[in-house]
Structure 1
Amino acid sequence: MQVIGLCRFSYPAIGGFQVEHDSIEERIAFLYQPDRLEERFQLLETVALPCLRAQTDPDFELIIVIGDSLPKQHRDRLHDITAGMPQIRIVSEPPRRQREVMKELLQKARRDPSKPCLQFRHDDDDAISVDFVERLRASVDDCAGLVKRHKTVAFDWTRGYVAEMGADGIAATEILRTLYVASLGMYIRGGCPLTIMNFAHEKIHRFMPVVSDSGPPMWVRTHNGYNDSRQKKVKPVPVEPLTREQEGEFRARFAIDADQIRRRFGR
């Protein structure tokens, strides 16, 4: 079964952000600030990409969506750091309505729309467990009766970490959270035109059955200087530095290397 992921990398969508701007030019200027883009690349290189390279089931695709105005040096850098990852396809788009363009890209990515597929979203500053694709695919078999009766079914792994990355390494805390973007997948029946981008992730349970699993930690959400959802006043999440043992667990579970974090963020 085809598995398709979607990642937005500083794409200047019309809508789709909690931080508002008066014009698309202001949004582009905000997204392409040198310090912001440097942080996004740091997180992409050390958090979001390693877990994809290490997937126990490598049979998936990931579309990375960028703006057609992304400066050439950043476009080249993105191609360089994703080289050697055949699952990744970088797509350049002009500013358009967020859901419109994302739905269109996902629909076009289906090799055979008459057959079912699995879809997921992947934020450029988060990680999924190295066995996410394997578990997502297996969940369809585990819930064969459910997917037979419904055109769409969501699969939600609710245990993960909030983490902060810095020159001192990783500080984190384990939490339970339902319907977060990371480790939320969606089954779509053959012939059904819906995509995971038809729905706000936190509201997806209103439209289809959701199978929740609170087993092993399946995601890492980073808190950083440019989280879109944290640009307004929000309650801070206390985190603590990982022990060496916990660093080993992060490396095994998410392919996040604390020593690489220290080197990359210590510059």
Structure 2
Amino acid sequence: MQVIGFCRFSFPAEGGFQVGHATVEERIAYLYAPARIEERFRHFETICLPGIKAQTDPDFLFVILCGDMMPKGHLDRLRNLTADMPQARIVLHPPGPHRKVCQEVMNSVRDMGRPCLQFRHDDDDAVSVEFVALLREAARDCATLIGKHRLVGFDWNRGFVARPDARGLLAAPCVTPYWGVAQAVAVQARVQQTVLNFSHNKLNQFMPTVTFTDPPVYVRGHNDHNDSRQKKHVTQPDLQRLDAEGEEAFRDLFAIDADQVRRAFA
């Protein structure tokens, strides 16, 4: 079954952000502000990409959606970071309604005549190196359920929230359902809706879903530019500095290298 991951890299969508902007031009200025875009690249390079590149099952497509007005220097940097990743496909698209654009792009890269597995992925999050393999296994185990429904959701709820900095990684274990990371949807052939058509925390309101609590499968990035952390009264996790054993566990589970993190955030 075709597996497609979908990552929006500072795409200036209409909607899709909790941070509001009056115009597309304001959103573009916000997304490409030097401090913000530099932080996004650092997280993308050290947190997001390592685990995606190291998947034990390499048979998948990883779509990176960007605005067609992304400055050339940023686009070149993005292409360099993914040059050694045959699964990566960078798609440039003009601004437009968030869900409509994501649906259009997703369906343009999939074989509409076959069912597929789709997962969403933010540019500052990570999944375990076995995520694609676990997703395929879940689909096989739930073949009867998938055969009865247009859409079936899968959600792995155990992982970590983590913050990289010049000293390495701060992290805390968590179990949080429907958080949007390590979440996927099995989509039947010819179905136009995609994983991006649904709010991640409301997935089980629109389709049957299957949840898994073991093993730890994700890292949810914690940083100053998280879209979900820009509002008041956001809970702050109790993050603790990873010791050598914790750093080794992150390398094994997510291919996240604390030394690379220290260099990038120095």
TM-score when normalising by structure 1: 0.98
Contact (CA 8 Å) 2:115, 2:187: kept in 1 or not? yes
The residue type paired with residue 229 of structure 2 is R
What is the match of residue 160 of structure 1?
159
Q: Find the aligned partners of 1:26 and 1:193 in 2 and give their Cα distance.
A: 31
Residues 161-240 of structure 1 aligned to structure 2 (within 5 Å): 161-233=160-232, 234-240=234-240
What is the match of residue 48 of structure 1?
48
Q: Find the aligned partners of 2:264 and 2:184 in 1 and give their Cα distance.
A: 30
The residue type paired with residue 68 of structure 1 is D
- Please identify, of 152-161 and 187-196, the stretch whose mean Cα deviation from structure 2 is larger: 187-196
Cα distance, 1:191 vs. partner?
A: 2.5
What is the match of residue 247 of structure 1?
247
3-state SS of the aligned residue for 1:216? coil
The residue type paired with residue 62 of structure 1 is F
Q: Percent identity?
A: 51
Q: Find the aligned partners of 2:124 and 2:118 in 1 and give their Cα distance.
A: 19
What is the match of residue 260 of structure 2?
260
3-state SS of the aligned residue for 1:15? coil
Cα distance, 1:248 vs. partner?
A: 0.5
3-state SS of the aligned residue for 2:57? coil
1:89-124 CA-to-partner distances (Å, cap 9, x unmatched) read: 10111110100000011111112x121100001100
1:1-33 CA-to-partner distances (Å, cap 9, x unmatched) read: 100111000111111100001111111111001
Q: Find the aligned partners of 1:192 and 1:235 in 2 and give their Cα distance.
A: 37
What is the match of residue 62 of structure 1?
62
Q: Find the aligned partners of 2:73 and 2:45 in 1 and give their Cα distance.
A: 16
1:158-186 CA-to-partner distances (Å, cap 9, x unmatched) read: 00101110001001000001111111011
Query: How many residues get paired?
Result: 265
TM-score when normalising by structure 2: 0.98
Q: Find the aligned partners of 2:31 and 2:193 in 1 and give their Cα distance.
A: 29
Contact (CA 8 Å) 2:13, 2:95: kept in 1 or not? yes
Q: Find the aligned partners of 1:65 and 1:162 in 2 and give their Cα distance.
A: 24
What is the match of residue 135 of structure 2?
136
Q: Find the aligned partners of 1:43 and 1:95 in 2 and give their Cα distance.
A: 23
- Please identify, of 193-202 and 35-44, the stretch whose mean Cα deviation from structure 2 is larger: 193-202
Contact (CA 8 Å) 2:103, 2:192: kept in 1 or not? no
Q: Find the aligned partners of 2:10 and 2:219 in 1 and give their Cα distance.
A: 20
What is the match of residue 104 of structure 1?
104
Contact (CA 8 Å) 2:155, 2:211: kept in 1 or not? yes
Residues 82-97 of structure 1 aligned to structure 2 (within 5 Å): 82-97=82-97
The residue type paired with residue 165 of structure 1 is P
Q: Find the aligned partners of 1:107 and 1:58 in 2 and give their Cα distance.
A: 21
CA RMSD of aligned residues (A): 0.8
Q: Find the aligned partners of 2:7 and 2:64 in 1 and give their Cα distance.
A: 5
1:194-220 CA-to-partner distances (Å, cap 9, x unmatched) read: 211121111110111110000011000
Q: Find the aligned partners of 1:33 and 1:149 in 2 and give their Cα distance.
A: 47
Q: Find the aligned partners of 1:5 and 1:192 in 2 and give their Cα distance.
A: 17
Q: Find the aligned partners of 1:37 and 1:110 in 2 and give their Cα distance.
A: 29
